[in-house]
Chains A and B, each alone.
Chain A
């Protein structure tokens, strides 16, 4: 009884006071800013306190293209945030490199280096889509357990709280992905790409 209400209180507190990191990367950041503005007003959820220092922020909205040059900084910022911390990957670029995924300097998804809680597709996602994702994150937080094996990562002692910061290499970042958290799903090859007969 006490444990559940404690858990409820904990979850309620966390979800009602998610302070995002003041952090924008590209076009999506403009929509992120628009979300905090009068018409959409992220402040209604208590989340307008954009903290410029990662120490005081709870949520990192990766809004925009993560280039390879920027990726180490993003990971370092994430590492420097205090637990519990969440990541919303906003926009096509942050999820997968998006329209720029063919670029040599574009990271194909920030989830290669840090764990992401919610992905928002869109280029850029509408402010409402960000709000929707934010609500989704709140729901996720609400479902988290304080104890037991199902408890979230930040409550588990053995789970890492910081991840490998990639280094600049001669041609690419090293490592190109963090294998501990990112696994490409296995896909049947014949389905992975168009078979030649299907093309004209």
Chain B
């Protein structure tokens, strides 16, 4: 196993953990955390590819990650705000309950 694939594998592990969390957890905040985790797993991929890619001097991977972090931050801000807003309505952050209340 070479270096690149080990990074990719790690990224896959993190992605799956994040995914499982997003699927299993019922607390909306924790689901958001899971999504954040998945995003970061993807970032790791970019960095790894940049590092072991053909044109590291182009910095594309790095730039992508930087922008990705920016987007993730915006996502976190809005996502958490929405959760708080939802909480305001349903008095809970439990997704099942929110669904139930809605339905």
Q: Do chains A and B touch in the complex (CB under 8 A)?
A: no
B contacts, CB < 8 Å to A: none
